[in-house]
């Protein structure tokens, strides 16, 4: 399976709705590593690494988010896989 890295910027009603915690749980369940954080301008930013299909499943989930979220857009930048992460963290 091909390994990939994706940087996401998620816009909409995505803060205060447990988006980060649910992203972490979703990433963990698909064996995807990286991090997720809130941005000062009300968005959520994430870096995902793992098998291509698993990363795509997490991205698909991010397009909807948890109940209470209203995702307007997900900007995705595909980057070279680095393997630098050993788990998935919520950062600040």
Give, for all 92 residues of the chain, the pLDDT tens digit: 899 999 999 999 999 999 999 999 999 999 999 999 999 999 999 999 999 999 999 999 999 999 999 999 999 999 999 999 999 999 98
Give domain status of residue 90, yes or no: no
Give domain status of residue 29, yes or no: yes
Give domain status of residue 69, yes or no: yes
Number of domain units in the chain: 1
> Which of 38, 63, 89, 92 is flagged as catalytic?
38
> Which of 5, 20, 22, 33 is flagged as catalytic?
20
HSE-up of residue 83 (Cα within 13 Å, Cβ side):
2
Alpha-carbon dihedral angle through residues 59, 52, 32, 47, given to the nearest 10 degrees: -60
Closest CA to 81 of 60, 43, 55: 55
Give domain status of residue 91, yes or no: no
Burial of 74 (0-12, 13-18, 19+ CB in 10 A): buried
For the chain, how many residues are written? 92
38 is catalytic: yes
Give domain status of residue 92, yes or no: no
- The CATH number for 23's domain is 3.30.70.100
Give domain status of residue 52, yes or no: yes
**What is the extent of the structural domain holding 15?**
3-81
């Amino acid at each position: 399976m091909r390994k990939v890295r994706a940087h996401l910027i998620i816009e909409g009603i995505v803060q205060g709705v447990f988006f980060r915690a649910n992203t972490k749980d979703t990433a963990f369940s698909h064996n995807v590593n990286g991090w997720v954080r809130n941005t000062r301008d009300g968005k959520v930013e994430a870096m995902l690494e793992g098998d291509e299909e698993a990363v795509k499943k997490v991205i698909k989930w991010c397009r909807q988010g948890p109940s209470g979220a209203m995702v307007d857009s997900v900007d995705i930048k595909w980057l070279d896989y680095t393997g630098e992460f050993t788990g998935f963290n919520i950062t600040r």
